[in-house]
Amino acid sequence: MKKEDGRVRITRQLIRDALLQLLQEKPLQHITVRELCEKASVNRGTFYAHYKDIYDLMEQIEQHMFDEFKSILRPLIEDQDPYDLVETVTRIFSYIQEHADLCLVTLGPNSDKKLLYRLVELGKQACLNSQLTLFPHADPRMLDYYYTFVSSGCIAILEKWMKEGMPEGSAHLAAFVRTLISPAFDTARAERLSSGQQRI
């Protein structure tokens, strides 16, 4: 049974690797099952034993990535430990660098942005949970604005970093991003409102 599981795992990896290679050459809608199977050195029957079509394969790849990012963000989402934010930023950049080929086609400037938007919403939940835990009297709307501002900037930096071949190490870039995040965060947390205060 273990040998079968191993063969299945290897086959699926071959298919996924082949898709990533083809996505560097053309958009998903122009990739056929036939050329994918030729690239992966598997037959069509093997492909259809694992996936319905090309789009199903891509959805499974993106879901796996989403689950990986959710695992990275779990301390902020579930434990609500706001002090994990710095470490979380570093882990996100490290994951992207370790899975550069995958992230470039799913999150990069030429991607369809679907997974990226899901991750932005996931990050929003983690960010608001952690910061409202640390600053319970902060105005949630100000924190929401803060996240919108910061996430847009981070996405732009990530896309530029990936497009240019990730010349800086993940730890170095994460440290730089933290220096950009801090002033915006200080502004957001300063906007505290009690129930009797007037909104500005």
Highest mean pLDDT range out of 45-54, 112-121, 147-156? 45-54
State mean pLDDT over 15-20: 95
**Same domain, yes or no: 88 and 178:** yes
pLDDT-derived band at 196, boundaries 50, 70, 90: very low
Token pair recorded at residue 8: 């299945």
Q: Are residues 78 and 10 located together in one domain of the fold?
A: no
State residue 72's pLDDT score: 85
> Do residues 193 and 139 touch, judged by C-beta distance below 8 A?
yes
Predicted structure pTM score: 0.77
pLDDT higher than 80, residue 103: yes
- Looking at the fold, whether 90 and 16 belong to one and the same domain comes out as no
Last residue of one domain, picked from the residues 51, 68, 91: 51
Do residues 45 and 94 share a domain? Answer: no
Specify the pLDDT at position 11.
Answer: 94
- Does residue 147 lie in a domain region? yes
Q: Which residues pair with 138 in a beta bridge?
A: 192
One domain, residues 117 and 185: yes
Residue with more model confidence, 9 or 188? 9
In a shared domain, residues 40 and 117: no
pLDDT digits (tens, 9 = 90+) for 176-190: 888 887 766 666 556
- Please give the structure tokens belonging to residue 82: 């706001």
Residues 182, 134, single domain; the answer is: yes
Residue with tokens 């191993």, as numbered in its chain = 6
Name which of 125, 127, 107 is nearest 117 in CA terms: 107
In the DSSP assignment, the letter for residue 198 is P
pLDDT tens per residue, range 44-93: 999 999 999 999 999 999 999 999 998 888 776 666 555 556 677 888 88
33 in the same domain as 66: no
Residue 128's pLDDT band (boundaries 50, 70, 90)?
A: confident
Q: Is the pLDDT of residue 200 over 50?
A: no
Q: Give the pLDDT score at 104.
A: 86
The yes-or-no verdict on residue 133 having pLDDT over 60 is yes
Asked if the structure places residue 146 within a domain, the reply is: yes
Burial of 189 (C-beta count, 10 Å sphere; 0-12/13-18/19+): middle
Classify residue 195: in a domain, yes or no.
no
pLDDT at 1: 41
Instruction: Tell me the β-bridge partners of 192.
Output: 138
Which pLDDT score, from 0 to 100, does residue 163 have? 87
> What total number of domains does the chain contain?
2
In a domain, 92, yes or no: yes
Question: CATH number for the domain including 6?
Answer: 1.10.10.60
Domain co-membership, 44 together with 92: no
* 3 and 94 housed in the same domain: no
Q: Is residue 198 part of a domain?
A: no
The domain of 22 spans 1-51
User: Is residue 196 a part of any domain in this protein?
Assistant: no
**Minimal CA–CA distance to 82: which of 147, 119, 127?**
127
pLDDT at 81: 54
| CB contact at 8 A, 23 and 31 | yes
